[in-house]
Amino acid sequence: MIKGMLSYKCIPGAILSKDTKGFLIKTGDSYIRILQWEPEVNLSTGKRFS
């Protein structure tokens, strides 16, 4: 868990934030941080994984 993070209530798969450390993805009851990614598309906050 990341200290100080808010409890998000949104759709699983949603990109919560993106920064130089990676990005946060909403899961069913929490979130995960993706540290490495080789995208074929441009990802931004608010988009979702299916």
pLDDT at 3 over 90: no
Give residue 35's pLDDT.
92
CA angle 34, 7, 3 (to 5 degrees): 65
Give residue 46's pLDDT.
76
pLDDT at 36 over 60: yes
Q: How far is Cα 22 from Cα 20, in angstroms, rounded to an integer? A: 6
Q: Which amino acid is at 15?
A: I
